[in-house]
Amino acid sequence: MKSIIVTWWAGFIGSNFLNKYVLLYPEINFINVDCLTYAGKLENISEEVKSSKNYFFEKVDIRDVDNLDKVFMKYKPTDIIHFAAESHVDNSIKNPKIFSETNVIWTQNLLDLYRKYGVVRFHQISTDEVYGDIPDSWFFLETTPINPSSPYSASKAAADMLVKAYGRTFGINYTMTRCSNNYWPNQDNEKLIPHFIDLLQNNKSVTVYGDWSNIRDWLYVEDHCDAIWEIFTQAQSWSIYNIWWNNEYTNLEITKIILKEMWKDESYIGFVSDRPGHDKRYAIDASKVKNELWREPKIKFDEWIKKTIAFYLNK
C-alpha cells in the first residue's frame, strides 16, 4: 500500500493539501509529521480527515532524527512530500540561525532516511524567493541561477541544493516546486492578508514597507496543491517546476483591496522604512508546468481574494 509522509501538515499549505487529498485517495495512507510550531494548528485539519482510516498523525520535530527514524520504521513510507519550513522573512532577519537549523537540517534528516528506508520519491516544496528579485518585464525560469536575498530564502536555497546533490550523488528520485505567495484559509496571522485584516478589525493602522511598490504574485492555495499533486505523481525524476499564475500586485494594491472590502479608507495606511535586503519584484515564467502537465489555474484572483477576506472576517 502506498504511504506518504507529509511534513508540516498543520501549517497553511500543508493543511489545505491534506484536507483535499486524504479524502480523494482513501487507498493511500497519509502520515502527518508535525511538531506543531506557532504556525501549525491541528484545527486547520478537518474533522472528516482526522477521522479517516488512511490518516495518521505523529507529533515529531523532524530535527529529532531518532524519533523521526521511529516514524519511518513504523509506517514504511513509499514517498515523502516535504512542506515543512520556517518561512517568515522578518523573523529570519531577527533570528537567522533558527532558519538554517530548521530548513536545512530538517531536509537533511529526511533525505538520509529516504536512503535508509528505500523511499520511492521525494518532493521538495520550495519558493520563488530563492531566485532573489528581478527587473520589470523579466521572468525567472527553472534554469535561472538562484540568488537569495534573506536568511529565509538562503536556507530554502540550501535545502534545494541538498535535494539536488542527493539526486546526483545518491540517485534519489526527487521532484521540486517553487511557488509564489499563497492565499486562502488557515494562513498564520503573521502573513500579510490575515495580519492586515486582524489589525483593521481592531481599528489599527497597517504599515507597508518602503515606497509600497514591492510586487508579488498571488496564488490560490488549492491551485498550488493541485499542481503539487500532478507534479509529484506524474513528473519525471529530477524535475523542477515553477508555479505562478501571473497575478502580480504591489503590496499597496493588496492593502487597498483589503481596505475596500472592509469599508475603510486609506487613512489606515502607515509608512515604515524598508526592511534590509527587501526584494523588489518576484516574477516567474510558468510555461514549463503549463506545457508539460497542462496545468492551468482554476481560480480567478479578483473573485477569490474577496472570498478570502470574507473568510477571515467571519472567523
Active site residue 90: no
- As beta bridge partners, residue 178 has 126, 242
Active site residue 249: no
Pick from 227, 207, 104: which is nearest to 155 by CA? 104
Instruction: Please pick, among 34, 79, 129, 222, the residue that the annotation labels catalytic.
Output: 129
Beta-sheet strand order (sheet of 174-179): 55-59, 29-34, 3-7, 79-82, 121-127, 174-179, 239-243
Pick from 91, 77, 73, 6: which is nearest to 45 by CA? 6
The residue type found at 10 is: A
Instruction: Please pick, among 55, 114, 152, 166, the residue that the annotation labels catalytic.
Output: 152
Element (H, E) at 182: strand 181-183
The residue type found at 256 is: K
Active site residue 152: yes
Let me know if 81 is exposed, middle or buried by CB neighbors in 10 A (0-12, 13-18, 19+).
Answer: buried
The residue type found at 180 is: S
Residue whose C-alpha cell is 482513501: 26
E strands of 35-180, at which residues?
55-59, 79-82, 121-127, 174-179
Tell me how far the alpha carbon of residue 124 is from its chain's centroid.
10
Instruction: Please pick, among 34, 79, 86, 128, the residue that the annotation labels catalytic.
Output: 128
Residues catalogued as catalytic? 128-129, 152
